[in-house]
Chain A
Amino acid sequence: QITLKESGPTLVKPTQTLSLTCTFSGFSLSTNGVSVGWIRQPPGKALEWLALIYWDDDKRYSPSLKSRLTITKDTSKNQVDLTMTNMDPVDRGTYFCARSVGSRWMDYWGQGTLVTVSS
């Protein structure tokens, strides 16, 4: 059974750095072709793809957010971390992590975690 779960702060202040962790089970991020990514969704708005890390540690970022994002993995802990710097109220939303295998993008998703940015 494949599961993913996001964790992190529910509230951050403007200009602070957000750190989120995706903890997964049922698959290994050391398996060829596997990747884990992050997606966010402002309340009532569309999904937005953020970043992805592959089994071989290759990393990809949304061009519009690349300067603010860092994605890392700890294969031994089955975790993928995402940091986003200089948080702003417009960054409020639900942050999801999801697994991909090859071109089977985001086949399994976490439940999401709601992040609010406010002073």
Chain B
Amino acid sequence: QTVVIQEPSVTVSPGGTVTLTCASSAGAVTSGFYPNWFQQKPGQAPRALIYSTSNKHSWTPARFSGSLLGGKAALTLSGVQPEDEADYYCTLYYGGAQVFGGGTKLTVL
């Protein structure tokens, strides 16, 4: 089964910029995998941030952006805030099924 790969943990300073990536064991990620990004804080349900690579939901803060970068999907946070500390998950679409990545724990320090 296809595996979606994310960095296990990333640390960023407040006000900094960080990019999280989402790779596929099957090869390069393209827009056809419809990358989606989610944020999850402890004890809460996930919250959708980005869909179809780079589209923001109405509630997504402007500092979050999605893209394709070097064969991977990417989530960039610019001007990181303390409240951005959370787990971030991507999903990729494989012919009708969604596969979540293992998640990235973002620490703001």
Contact = CB atoms under 8 A, between A and B. Distances in A.
A107 B57 contact: yes
A49 interface: yes
B86 interface: no
A74 B28 CA distance: 38
Interface in B33-49: 34, 36, 38, 40, 45-48
A47 B46 contact: yes
Contacts, number: 67
Contacts of A14: none
Contact of A109 (B45, B97, B101): B45
A109 B1 CA distance: 26
A109 B46 CA distance: 7
A61 B103 contact: no
Given A107-B57, A110-B45, A46 B51 contact: no
Given A63-B1, A64-B1, A96-B46, A105 B98 contact: yes
Given A60-B97, A63-B1, A112-B45, 17 more contacts: A37-B98, A46-B89, A46-B103, A47-B46, A47-B103, A52-B96, A52-B97, A60-B96, A62-B97, A103-B34, A104-B51, A104-B57, A105-B48, A106-B38, A106-B91, A107-B48, A110-B45
